A and B are shown apart, each in its own frame.
Chain A
Amino acid sequence: MATFKPGLVHTPVTPFKRDQSIDFDAYGKLIEFHLRNGAEALALPMPPGEDISLTDGELRKLLEFALNQVKGRVPVLAHVNDAGTDIAVARVRHAEQAGAAAIVSHPPYFWHPKASMVVEHIVRVGAATRLPFFICSPPVEDVGTPLTTEIVLQALERLDNLAGVVDASMDWVFMVEALSLGRKVRADFQLLPGTDYMVSAGVIGGSGAFSPLSGVAPKRVREVYDLCAKQQFTQARKAQEDLAALHHLVKTAGFAGLKGALRAMGRDCGEPRPPARALGEIEYGKLAQEIAAMDFLRAEPRGW
């Protein structure tokens, strides 16, 4: 099987209406925005797309809608995970039947099983499909189960379709170990940064990228991505610092920060679903002011 390399993967948010239902009109516009602004693939709904706030039925419908909207122009990677292994397995089968190009998954949500149980979960979810399968390493500050090098290596021994790790841990020790030892097992094993910190992942041998900030600053994301692809890591420093500043600003505003930044750029995707808090008008005003003060964002597209 030829190696599936996703390239620059945009990870759209999930827009909601005021009544908290999914705003499919806005979602269609958002997908078109991503496709016009450099997405080589889409992955949805990733954690910034509020996957855990969607019902099983909504997750399936969202994926089907996206596949129908994209119509094969780029690969669509389905992010599928849950607390229960069987629930995740059923949704993986649906994603493959619906036409997803690959599956992206996490260690199980909520529980803190032993490493051997995490391996079992990952292997069962990955074995439910013939599609290329990627595992995400969660941010280190998350309360869930971390993905360790040992878990990756054990899963790699048992899953022929395990193509790589999408790393949101940003932990260099894990990243270097998983990549260098993973490639001893499978030469084309990939590590993709799951955040917008592409330089560190690229220089240690990673490739591709999942970009949560692509909805806000797609040009800057593309610039860093291209420089990394050309191995020009030192030259990418300034643009990477810009993305780090934007990441920090959005994160400081809380979970609603990303949607706040999108609104400030003229792409209103509503507020996050409860229990995540929406930004108050004062908080939003402060965020919008700081977005306006970021010089590099003047070159980014406004509106849809």
Chain B
Amino acid sequence: MSITLKGVMQAPVTPLKDDFSLDADGFAKMVDFHVRHGAPAIAWPHHKAESLNLTIAERKLGAEVAVKTVAGRVPVSIFVGTLSEEDSLDIARHAAKIGADMILAISPYCRRPSQEEIFDSIVRIGTTTDLPILTYNSPWRNGEGVEFTGELTRRLIERLPNYIGMKDASFHSEKFMEISRVALRMRPGFAIIMGVEHLLASFPLGACGSFSSSGAIAPNLCNKFYAALVANDWESARECQYKISRLWRLFKEQYPSSLKGAMIMMGRPVGPTRSPLPTATKERIDFLRQQLEELNILQTEPHGW
């Protein structure tokens, strides 16, 4: 299938039961909620989905639930980032077997990889299946960042015919344009997708969309934001971006615990967050309720599944 990626794509959280086990039924509801509320693609399990706190078996099970629930309505991306490259390769091959549409890859965590090491790792992952591959640019993580420079992106596009796009979490004018100038010239349909909804600054320069942080709370706002961008209605887009930025300020503290807490308040019981991440306290949820009311989110966004 030829994939066109655009819009505010949703990256569901991972619902857990009270005993912290994976809630597969809840996850199916979560995925279906996003598709019914306009998600142009589903991407799982990003950090927001506690990816590194799930076992490899759980990640495979979740991927199967996502593909089955979406049932071809929109493309499904499976994130294969892990501590060990062997696990990334295993998850990538599994994603191909179960009918996912693409994978999202980063070189293994907790190293300080050189550009050469990132290149080699992505080539190994990108050639282990025929699936289209996206890479995850994350340059800022306290000395452990994995950065895809313009030059590295150029080499990967040359090497991998299935390299179709990048999740860019640089949120930085210069870094974004070093990638976009190279990638969009070499491969015009290359999808540059912002890591969370800091999409306004990049959209006029060629970004096609974002993976959502706040879509689990405010899908209507996400859809309104993207429609304003496509219409070049910058004033409306700005208004949405400012509101989404305030949401991000709320959720980035104890991410994704605060987000899960707010979702429970919106009638979507997604359970606790696995250790070492904290679970949102009642006080935190009360604070979020007050903030979301002030932002007119509680009154205008869907409650329940």
Instruction: Point out residues on A near B: beta carbons under 8 Å.
Output: 140, 170-173, 175-177, 180, 193, 195, 197, 199-201, 203-205, 231, 233-234, 236-237, 240-241, 244-245, 247-248
Asked if B198 is at the interface of the complex by the 8 Å CB criterion, the answer is: yes
User: Across the interface, which residues of B come within 8 angstroms of A177, CB to CB?
Assistant: 245, 249
In the assembled complex, the Cα of A201 lies from the Cα of B203 at a distance in Å of 12
Bound Cα distance from A193 to B173, whole angstroms: 10
Chain B interface mostly: helix
- Expressed in whole angstroms, the Cα–Cα distance for A233 and B237 within the complex equals 13
Inter-chain contact B205/A172, CB cutoff 8 Å: no
Return the contact of B173 from the options A195, A205, A234, A245 (Cβ within 8 A). A195
Encoded as 1 (CB less than 8 Å from any A CB) or 0, chain B from 220 to 247 comes to: 0000000000001010011001100110
The answer for the CA separation of A177 and B252 in the assembled complex, in Å, is 13
Contacts of B188 in A (CB 8 A): none
* Residues on the B chain within 8 Å of A231, using CB: 234
Whether B234 and A171, one on each chain, are in contact in the complex, defined by CB atoms closer than 8 angstroms, is no
The residue that A180 contacts in the complex, of B180, B181, B232, B245, with Cβ under 8 A, is B245
> CA of A204 to CA of B238 in the docked complex: distance in angstroms?
6
- Smallest beta-carbon distance B139→chain A, Å: 10
Return chain B residues, CB-CB under 8 Å to A173.
Answer: 171, 198, 245, 248
Given A200-B201, A248-B178, 18 further pairs, Cβ under 8 A = A170-B173, A170-B175, A172-B171, A173-B171, A173-B248, A180-B242, A193-B173, A197-B177, A200-B173, A200-B176, A200-B205, A203-B237, A204-B201, A231-B234, A233-B234, A240-B177, A241-B180, A244-B181
Closest CB of chain B to A169's CB: distance in Å?
8
- Interface flag for B106 (CB, 8 Å): no
CB within 8 Å of A: which residues of B?
150, 171-178, 180-181, 198, 200-206, 232, 234, 237-238, 241-242, 245-246, 248-249
Chain B residues within an 8 Å CB radius of A233: 204, 232, 234
A-B contact pairs, 24 of them (CB 8 A): A170-B173, A171-B171, A173-B245, A176-B200, A176-B241, A177-B249, A195-B173, A197-B173, A197-B174, A199-B205, A200-B201, A200-B205, A201-B173, A201-B201, A203-B234, A203-B238, A204-B201, A233-B234, A234-B204, A237-B205, A240-B177, A241-B177, A244-B178, A244-B181
Chain A residues with Cβ under 8 A from B206's Cβ?
237
For A200, list chain B residues within 8 Å (CB).
Answer: 173, 176, 201-202, 205
How far is it, in angstroms, between the C-alpha of A288 and the C-alpha of B146 when the chains are bound? 32
Is the pair A244, B174 in contact by a Cβ cutoff of 8 Å?
yes
**Contact A234/B232 with A173-B245, A199-B204 known, Cβ cut-off 8 Å:** yes
